[in-house]
A = this chain, B = another copy of it.
């Protein structure tokens, strides 16, 4: 397996490795990248807004939003690789020996641990996509109108990242045996989706009202 981090690949190279018969990187890593691109666009929108006429009152907010979005982008970029590693962890657990009862038990525990990580990974992506969406919403009417489409795209990307991450949670959930973990996870995904949808709807309505 190639050791170079996915985010050290060129976009062309990442696209090629995605479009292959290897199951990872896959949708989880793409969801993380989508969120990161959304956060990057928020940094850009803030940079294009700070100090602009009519936006003087929002300087501190814009500056704080840029800092937070930069940090979200950094974290989501790391998650591009983490998600592929979590998937490969599950695959590695399935390859553990299962000749004896002890081996079977250890393998089964490793598989469960692997699936829990393969769920925690997209859950982390989903949380940061929601925060990105809420940052985008907080900039409505307080950022450069020339960059309104960029703010809108930012929300589109973060929302796609959120929905995509939750699909990656949901596809792994049936493999989990811990009923408490399942209940907690379902409650959190429902709450993240509701929060993300509210922010995305607010951004989309505002952009549609201004741009058509």
Contacts and interface: CB of A to CB of B under 8 A. Distances in A.
A150 B77 contact: no
A74 to B, nearest CB: 9
A123 interface: no
**Residue of A8, A43, A69, A164 with most chain B CB atoms under a 10 A cut-off:** A164
Interface string A177-188: 000000000100
Given A23-B44, A156-B163, 6 more contacts: A11-B33, A19-B43, A34-B156, A34-B160, A149-B170, A167-B211
A83 to B, nearest CB: 11
Interface of A: 6-12, 14-15, 18-23, 26-28, 30-31, 33-34, 36-37, 39-41, 43-44, 47-48, 69-70, 73, 77, 80, 146-150, 152-154, 156-157, 159-161, 163-164, 167-168, 170-171, 173, 186, 204, 207, 211-212
A148 B171 contact: yes
A47 B20 contact: yes
A167 B145 CA distance: 13
The A interface is mostly helix, strand or loop, or mixed, namely: helix
Contacts of A20: 43-44, 47
Given A27-B41, A73-B15, A156 B160 contact: yes
Given A23-B146, A147-B23, A15 B77 contact: yes
Contacts of A39: 19
Contacts of A70: 19
A156 to B, nearest CB: 4
Nearest to A158: B160
A53 B156 CA distance: 36
A58 to B, nearest CB: 16
B11 A152 contact: no
B157 A34 contact: yes
B33 A19 contact: no
